[in-house]
Amino acid sequence: MSVALNVLTVVAVVAGAFFFLAGTVGLLRFPDTLTRLHALTKADNLGLGLVVLGLLPHVGSVLAGIKLVAIWLLVLLSGAVASQLIARATRQRDPDA
Amino acid sequence: MMEALNAGLALLLLALAVWTIVARDAFAAVAGFIAYGLLLTLAWVQLSGVDVALTEAAIGGGLTGALLIGAVGRLRDTEATARVERPKALTRALAALVAGAVTVALALCVLTLPDPAPTLAPDVAANIAATGVGNPITAVLLAFRAMDTLLEAIVLVFALIGVWSLAPDRAWGGRPGVRHVADPNGILAYIARVLPPIGIIVGMYIFWAGADHPGGKFQGATILAAMWLLVMMAGLTDAPPISRAWLRIGLVAGPLVFIAIGLAGAVTAGAFLAYPDGYAKPLIIVIELALMPTLALILALLLVGAPQRTIQR
Amino acid sequence: MADFLLAASGFVLLMVAVGLARILRGPGDADRMMAAQLLGTGGIAALLLLGAATGEDAVVDVALTLALLAAFASIAFVKAARTASRDEAATGNEK
């Protein structure tokens, strides 16, 4: 049982780290602001989500597990809102971006 | 592995600090500063200072960043002229010399500390049972060195009064800052309605957890202040005029309760801010409960700034 | 497992460091804000991994606070940038 959980942790954390890599590469290499925003949200949603999934088997209590999921949901919410606001601000400044 | 991580973190911090100083655009420098605060949180965790990491995350990552952003916004017009007026080479050389000398002195002090470094931690651990709290930081802040905490709270009130003193005469007593407007059905208003309840719960939780785990009134108050500021930024509420009675009462209530408990301690337990036996934990809770709204008010109002709008009669 | 989590934390930190280059270069304020946002999320991930690696439970509280305050800071950022661009547009129209 614990071997399976460890395997889940390793797989999930590696996948999450991969999405962070993808998000960072996107942030650096994509041609303009809106596409970079798209890359950034992948790191937010999937990167952090997979890391949280991988860490859930190792928490000490139910409360800690709830906190982990709450952190992910908060980051999702704030990332979504910030992306909207940034995108709108970019549109206003540069209408053909 | 841990050493490699710490070395990498330290290098990253140094590089970011250097870049923040040499960045030409003030906005970019503030972004760098916020990043620096976030990395410093990690550094504190590595140094086993989780309470300090909490405070750094709250103040350094969020509030100071927003404060500097507000300042940069106000200074945008003057940035061009400020860049032109650079000090002469002699001034810069002297400044570099003094900064270098201070760094060398600090480095020498740290490197020549006796090993093991002098510390009162064993004394705290020996006497913590009398305070009734499990977190040694809370015990030091509110029992062993409660005087310092009281004075810090009073200093914060003075700092706020100092910020208010920048108001033009005609605006004294009026509302600070500008009236924010945002689409009431837009996404900014949406998050200003969804996030604060969550923030309040988390803030109260961090405050309550401070008794036995890292946390406490200061970090909790910072989260509450940030949520109030968010609601103000979305235009859902306006900053209160500083002449309001409830505001002024709220600002002094915390320190006054603290002083009252201290005086009561002088009468019942023999010294100012001494706690009678067995009453330490309840008194600490009362002090924290009284100080938290005061701190939240002060932190939020420090960020909003000096009164700018004349009071409507 | 602890070593693996530490290595993962270090990797995420490295990604964040590389992403900081966007703060350096970013041709606009929006790009710098996005890099700061990535830093926030990456910092939270690195913190959670570090906390799990060292067994320190309170680190989750630090990550929770960071999530809230990073949300607040990025909104403050965007608001300030929009006000700035609106002022620029206004003064540009007057000229």
Contact (CB, 8 A) for B209 and C61: yes
Given a cut of 70, whether residue C95 has pLDDT beyond it is no
Test mutation, A34, A67, A85, chain C, max C CBs within 10 A: A85
Specify which of A25-39, A73-87, C73-87 reaches the highest per-range mean pLDDT: A73-87
Q: Is the pLDDT of residue A4 over 60?
A: yes
Scanning the structure block, which residue is given the tokens 């996107």? A26
Q: Across the interface, do B42 and C43 touch by the CB < 8 Å criterion?
A: yes
Helix (H) or strand (E) holding C57: none
* pLDDT tens, residue by residue, B56-80: 998 987 889 888 988 888 887 777 7
| Chain B residues inside the 8 Å CB shell of C50 | 42, 45-46
Give me the count of residues in chain B. 313
Give yes or no for C72 touching B (CB within 8 A): yes
Model pLDDT, residue B279: 81
Q: Confidence band (pLDDT; 50, 70, 90) for C39?
A: confident
Per-residue burial over C16-26, b if 16 or more Cβ lie within 10 Å, else e, is bbebbebbeeb
pLDDT value at position B265?
87
Residue C94 has pLDDT above 50, yes or no: no
* Chain C residues within an 8 Å CB radius of A90: 28, 30
Task: Give me the residues of A, 15-54, that contact C with CB < 8 A.
Answer: 16-17, 20-21, 23-24, 27-28, 33, 36-37, 40, 43-44, 47-48, 51-52
Inform me whether the pLDDT recorded for C92 exceeds 60. no
AA identity, residue B215: G
Distance CA B47, CA C54 (A): 12
Three-state SS letters, B31-55:
HHHHHHHHHHHHHHHHCCCHHHHHH
Nearest to A63 by CA among C12, C79, B141, B201: B201
For residue C5, is pLDDT > 80? yes
CB-based contact A78 B195, cutoff 8 Å? yes
Stretch B224-252: mean pLDDT: 90
Task: State how far residue C16 is from chain B, nearest Cα, in angstroms.
Answer: 10
pLDDT at residue number B230: 92
Is the pLDDT at C29 greater than 50, yes or no?
Answer: yes
Mean pLDDT over residues B182-207, rounded?
A: 90
The whole-model pTM stands at 0.90
Band (A52; pLDDT cuts 50, 70, 90): very high
pLDDT tens for B123-151 read: 888 888 888 888 888 888 888 888 999 99
- Answer positive or negative: Cα dihedral of B190, B195, B197, B198: positive
Predicted pLDDT at C35: 80
DSSP secondary structure of chain A: -HHHHHHHHHHHHHHHHHHHHHHHHHHHHSSSHHHHHHHHHHIIIIIHHHHHHHHGGG-SSHHHHHHHHHHHHHHHHHHHHHHHHHHHHHHHH-TT-
- What's the mean pLDDT when you consider all of chain A? 86
pLDDT value of position B182: 79
Domain boundaries, chain C: 2-94
Share of chain B above pLDDT 90, in %: 37
Backbone angles phi, psi at B19, to 5 degrees: -65, -40
Inform me whether the pLDDT recorded for B177 exceeds 70.
yes
